[in-house]
Amino acid sequence: MANDRRKRPSTATGRLFRLTGMTTSIATRVAGHQVKGLFQSETAKASDREKLLKHIGREVAATLGEMKGAVMKVGQIASQMQDILPREISDQLKVLQNASAPMPFHVIRRQLERELKDELGNLFASFEDTPFAAASIGQVHRATTHQGDQVVVKVQYPAVKESIDSDMKHLRRILRLGSLLRVDEAALDAVFREIRNQLHEELDYCQEANNLTLFRDFHHEQPWLIIPRVFEDLSSEKVLTLSQESGTPLDHVDDQHGFDQATRNLLGERLFDALGQQIFQFRAVHCDPHPGNFAFRPDGSIVMYDFGAVKRLPPQDAELLRNIVRAALDQQWHTLDTLLQQLGVRKKDTEVSSQFYATWIELLLRAFDNKPYDFGRSRLHTDIMQQVKRTSLDQMLKFQPSSRSLLIERVVSGHYWTMMKLGVNTAFRPNLERALEIAPDA
């Protein structure tokens, strides 16, 4: 524990020093790489660039892994988004997706009592000192209320909110170093604004409590989707107390734990349908697909946790996404190209061939056929990476991340891995067609 305290920056000055040191180190390496490249062949330059990116990824992951707060959260998001970071860096950042070390309990207790304005013993009949989950911006403890309710209590780490602007500035600077990113600056700025806005919302537990209530009401006709209930008198902006809803973690959803193939298929379809309704009807989407935010029951129920990260879609964006999927299904490549430009994913003043779209859409829609698709044996992710390698850089640079679809893409790509771990083997085209036909809420 003493070693953890030494490594983890505990003050604003300490965080600034650590992030500045990392940025300076990376800037020095990038500058050296650029000078060295003046005297190298193209082959040697490409090889050195790959080594440089891997080193940067390791250094960023090591530094962010020692820190709590916004910078680690952004690192976790970036690790899932290979259209923002080079693959060599995003691969190194994947380590940040694992559970982080918890804060000492005396820090959590002080934060909780300050927020709820009472002593712990007066607030709860019992409270477990050891958290059962720890993440980038807070950790979760089991407790019992004085009325006998089994609850979970999410406590935000101190000073996380105050560190956002500084953390984001430093991470943004790293991404801009030395033309490591070949994306439009305005598009990258929009992406960072989207992430920053999402972080501010996620750090407001009052907003999350409101999200939980709204989603419980929206899904009230789907009793198989379990959303925790908020205990308002034991919650605040930085403390959130919820009903304890048990379920089987994703890693244990298998035959040995009572989940046969039919049940796993049902769980996959229900999860897909719920997300489709959220996107196209509710226009508000649970957008943190981390496996720890979901649990499953052998009766086909799904427990959905953590509603801090919610993407609210303007009506025009939800309709634009609907039309993009429809154009892809109907193989209307010119229409698809126009719609992607409207979304900001496709750079204007360039041309993309119909064959390019035909190849990529066939690949991306492979899991949404009328025939059952076996996610348990899926190689779609590796096929996509192989196609990226086969596609010329000139073609790939005609596309860029868009802040309007960034978090929705995170949901889709994240739940691809969920379907794989569930071992779902079913035909999703009927579910996709139903999702596209859902009438939006007024």
* DSSP string over 104-154: PHHHHHHHHHHHHTS-HHHH-SEE-SS-SEE-SSEEEEEEE-TT--EEEEE
Q: What is the pLDDT of residue 15?
A: 60
pLDDT at 179: 44
CA dist 64 and 7 (Å) reads: 11
Return the pLDDT at 3. 42
Distance, in Å, from the CA atom of 362 to the CA atom of 360, rounded to the nearest integer, reads: 5
Question: By C-alpha distance, which of 134, 77, 382, 423 is closest to 251?
Answer: 423
Q: What is the pLDDT of residue 6?
A: 40
Q: Take residue 292 and report the two structure tokens written for it.
A: 């720890």
Between strands 373-374 and 425-426, the pairing is: antiparallel
Q: What pLDDT score was predicted for residue 337?
A: 97
Q: Which pLDDT value is given to residue 171?
A: 67
* Active site residue ranges: 288
254 burial type by CB count under 10 A (0-12 exposed, 13-18 middle, 19+ buried): middle
Tokens 């959130």 belong to which residue?
Answer: 240
What is this structure's pTM? 0.77
Start-end of CATH 3.30.200 domains in the chain = 104-156+204-245
302: its two tokens: 């799904």
Say which residues have a Cβ less than 8 Å from residue 53's Cβ, sequence separation at least 6: 86, 88, 89, 180
CA dist., res. 15 & res. 10, Å (int): 7
- Please give the structure tokens belonging to residue 307: 């509603």
Which residues of the chain fall short of a pLDDT of 70? 1-20, 22-23, 27, 30-31, 33-40, 61-100, 170-188, 191, 442
What is the Cα–Cα distance from 156 to 136, expressed in whole angstroms? 9
CATH of 104-156+204-245, one of 1.10.1060, 3.40.1000, 3.40.1340, 3.30.200: 3.30.200
